[in-house]
Amino acid sequence: MPRDIDTIRLPYNADRRRKITAEVKERIRKEYIPYIVSLRFLASKYSISKRAVQFILNPEAEKKCKEQFKERRKDGRYYNSEANTKAARSIRKYKKEIFPPIKIYQYCLQCGKLYQLRSIKHSFCSRQCRRYFNNQ
Ligand SMILES: [Zn+2]
């Protein structure tokens, strides 16, 4: 079961895996002139790799490459459980920074106390209240 924060998608330009924005991609497409403005020039200008420029200019190639990667990774060769855990923690921390928590308060169904809501799944101020309510 994923946490609530794991289901929140990052806005396009807030994704840290992305070095350049959609606007810059568009600019690269316009600036490229075969045999005059080279891939190498554009790559160094925007400090991305030549391969990344190729992918921007040819989205079909990127799609194909991603599909091949998807197949290749199925044997688990890239899977690293420790690195995965570390990355998941890092992304949760980052999401908390860019989406400051909105504090919502509600009344406990059992004791009527006002408490801070931590998850949409909860309706009680404490475990004891939930247990007591469910056993009635
Ligand atoms: Zn309560």
Q: How far is the CA of 49 from the centre of ligand 1 (A)?
A: 56
Q: Which of 28, 64, 69, 29 is nearest to 45 (CA)?
A: 28
Say if residues 39 and 50 touch (Cβ distance below 8 Å): yes
The predicted-structure confidence for 78-89, as pLDDT tens digits, reads as follows: 999 999 999 999
pTM of this prediction? Answer: 0.64
The predicted-structure confidence for 51-106, as pLDDT tens digits, reads as follows: 999 999 999 999 999 999 999 999 999 999 999 999 999 999 999 888 887 888 99
123 confidence band (pLDDT: 50, 70, 90): confident
Burial of 56 (0-12, 13-18, 19+ CB in 10 A): buried
Q: How far is the CA of 111 from the centre of ligand 1 (A)?
A: 4
Q: How far is the CA of 1 from the centre of ligand 1 (A)?
A: 25
Q: How far is the CA of 121 from the centre of ligand 1 (A)?
A: 15
